[in-house]
Structure 1
């Protein structure tokens, strides 16, 4: 009997959510066949069979939160080994992006009926086990975790209450009647719209990545003294360069000359002039980073991700464009690895691709600065006291952590970015 174990997935990831079992109990699988997809805070992973056999048991169901090293299923090698399966045919040639790690873990061969009814809840294995031992229904509990995940401490606190619905059969009838509304009033109003034909609504479970994004954005606003400053850039010079050089650049480097390479170079130049924007806070210390790994926000199906262009100060325009194109493609194909996302010293986000004229980007913690690009719009601009011209203008925004970055420094940083973009030759010298 071979155990299917949740593999190690990186230092910062300790758990994941089973998003889909590709095979079902009783199916024959070959070594290397895709078994299930696991969703984590940062990336999605595929777990494949390490040996041929029959999928004997699925211990953890779709939607369950599982820990690294936990047993989530078993494969029996005694019967049907090597026999083709529907899942194997449909995923022929698929390779595993995660290898199972040998780790001791214990799991009961079957779950009680109460466990199955609460499978959709997000709860740690220890919390589920403790709830079974105490006879507690997890559906009656509320988690203190911002992600809504029930912990062992939540179960212990719930079990220590003087009276609870699962253990209050000896209480007076009047007391039970008083307790009954409190257990059901919290859930029924939220579900009511789905059952009202005059007001149709659909309830969707948030993906693990969306929950993580929500938690981190709220945490960034709660912990940082975030402020935003604005400026505008005359894009005439950059658009002129792109118009004159776009074709030759494409032919020589086999990549398009976009705006992101200009902005990345300008940000690097400004970070060198104002290094506190390239820092982070660690307790009572400030860590000023002397390397320039620039995060580029990309909108993917599962939500916003920020892959990182490493050593941007050492890359040329073509190399930056190639890196950004590669990372954006991997993001949209849901094939980013942890190494693509970890680190980053400063972030650039471009809401202009969706038509945004102005916005206030939220910090990507623990970074202390993020630059927002916006839509290029032709507007009349005063060249001097007598002349007006229509120019392609872009509003840019810098959100920063006021705890270590003063307002004057933030404003001058953004002015530096503006000056380099309006005089692109300086990007070769300072970026």
Structure 2
């Protein structure tokens, strides 16, 4: 057994923070492989493994530690590790929990910065990270103006959160994109009928949200979460986030258990989301748990849009504005039709082009022949009943 001890990284520090492990507990690692990230008062340092072996960690991410402390063991074989775990003085489950705050994991330096600058937990959750470090907090803070520079207004903390999430997406997700042209004449007609029947503000967006959720059984890979160890976590049901910007900042509230809702119920939620976006009164649970995102770009004249895949998700959709075009019917006569374009951006580590095209094709068919989307509206006996547990 080889003990993994922390070196002295900064002679002025008596303690560090173990930010995160770069190798899985119980996995076999190689000499020289990045092992753990340690935060000192000045910087973050990656420490490499000094030998081959099976890793047994003793501290969890976010825990305090000190120079010279043993934070893990390396075992030459599974038998050696089993003998260690079987010793009566060893509790194999005794690993400290990370320092958490309302579901967040922050390093000590990150928590101090967040408290100093009055950042709320909702702003921190918007980073979409499992462990929040001091550098992540610094990205949210306004930069001091340089001498002689124009005194422009500072970005809001919320906008800096958006910027940090977009930066993380661009840095970590190898994204590809595809687009589909969809005839939405029948879908818009159905939305108008449902508005009259239910009194809810049903729109093309409401129908798209419903049709996206209905695709989970046929296209599960587009709803998965890619984990750090290279495995994917399937989604038991669809939780669809919708980008909402009412002029007070961008929010991405979530329609949870979407497939279990009717189009009218979805429309009521979207209406409520817009009101909350104006007032800034979202609850934390309304902004978390999504496994796919829809970004509406429906202003007049906007045709194509390329959305951002949020960290922790695999794909995102955009909905463009309505484009009325003259086309030839089956007899060769011109007629006006209403089209929109769906933009799909997907993590190419998880989804290949063939699967993305099939997903877009099924969405196109669902919106061009939308009668099935009306099921479950008020007075309909075929309302969907199945739901799943809310996300954690």
TM-score bracket, shorter-length normalisation: 0.5 to 0.7
Larger Rg: 1
Name the residue aligned to 2:161.
212
Structure 1 residue 425 displacement after superposition? 1.7
- The one of 341, 346, 349 aligned to 2:287: 341
| Kept after mapping to 2: 8 A contact 1:40/1:208 | no
Name the residue aligned to 2:120.
40
Tell me whether 1:278 sits opposite 2:223 in the alignment: yes
Corresponding residue SS for 1:400 = strand
Tell me whether 1:231 sits opposite 2:180 in the alignment: yes
CA distance 1:390–1:267, change in 2 (3 Å): same
Name the residue aligned to 1:423.
369
Tell me whether 1:256 sits opposite 2:201 in the alignment: yes
Structure 1 residue 412 displacement after superposition? 1.0
Corresponding residue SS for 1:147 = helix
| Kept after mapping to 1: 8 A contact 2:213/2:239 | no
Cα distance in 1, alignment partners of residues 251 and 136 from structure 2: 26
Structure 1 residue 145 displacement after superposition? 6.9
Tell me whether 1:265 sits opposite 2:243 in the alignment: no
Larger CA deviation: 237-246 vs 339-348: 237-246
Cα distance in 2, alignment partners of residues 248 and 149 from structure 1: 49
Cα distance in 2, alignment partners of residues 304 and 249 from structure 1: 29
| Kept after mapping to 2: 8 A contact 1:280/1:288 | yes
| Kept after mapping to 2: 8 A contact 1:41/1:212 | no
Cα distance in 1, alignment partners of residues 115 and 152 from structure 2: 19
Structure 1 residue 248 displacement after superposition? 2.6
- The one of 152, 157, 164 aligned to 1:203: 152
- The one of 145, 148, 167 aligned to 1:192: 148
- The one of 308, 311, 323 aligned to 1:377: 323
CA distance 1:235–1:145, change in 2 (3 Å): same
Tell me whether 1:365 sits opposite 2:311 in the alignment: yes
Structure 1 residue 257 displacement after superposition? 1.9
| Number of residue pairs matched by the alignment | 263
Cα distance in 1, alignment partners of residues 271 and 182 from structure 2: 24
Cα distance in 2, alignment partners of residues 236 and 220 from structure 1: 34
CA deviation profile, 1:207-236 (whole Å, cap 9, x unmatched):
222112111101101111111100111111
CA distance 1:414–1:203, change in 2 (3 Å): same
Name the residue aligned to 1:310.
256
Structure 1 residue runs of 5 or longer lacking an equivalent are 1-7, 20-37, 45-122, 125-142, 151-185, 195-201
Structure 1 residue 267 displacement after superposition? 0.5
CA distance 1:11–1:422, change in 2 (3 Å): same
Cα distance in 1, alignment partners of residues 368 and 240 from structure 2: 21
| Kept after mapping to 1: 8 A contact 2:319/2:341 | yes
Corresponding residue SS for 2:210 = helix
Cα distance in 2, alignment partners of residues 416 and 276 from structure 1: 14
Cα distance in 2, alignment partners of residues 336 and 413 from structure 1: 31
Report which of the two has the higher share of helix: 1
Name the residue aligned to 1:323.
269
Structure 1 residue 395 displacement after superposition? 1.0
What's the TM-score, normalizing by structure 1? 0.55
Name the residue aligned to 1:147.
139
Structure 1 residue 187 displacement after superposition? 8.4
What's the TM-score, normalizing by structure 2? 0.60
Structure 2 residue runs of 5 or longer lacking an equivalent are 1-99, 125-132, 377-383, 385-392
Corresponding residue SS for 1:192 = coil
Name the residue aligned to 1:105.
none
CA distance 1:387–1:42, change in 2 (3 Å): farther
Name the residue aligned to 1:52.
none
| Kept after mapping to 1: 8 A contact 2:315/2:347 | yes
Tell me whether 1:241 sits opposite 2:186 in the alignment: no
- The one of 332, 349, 354 aligned to 1:403: 349
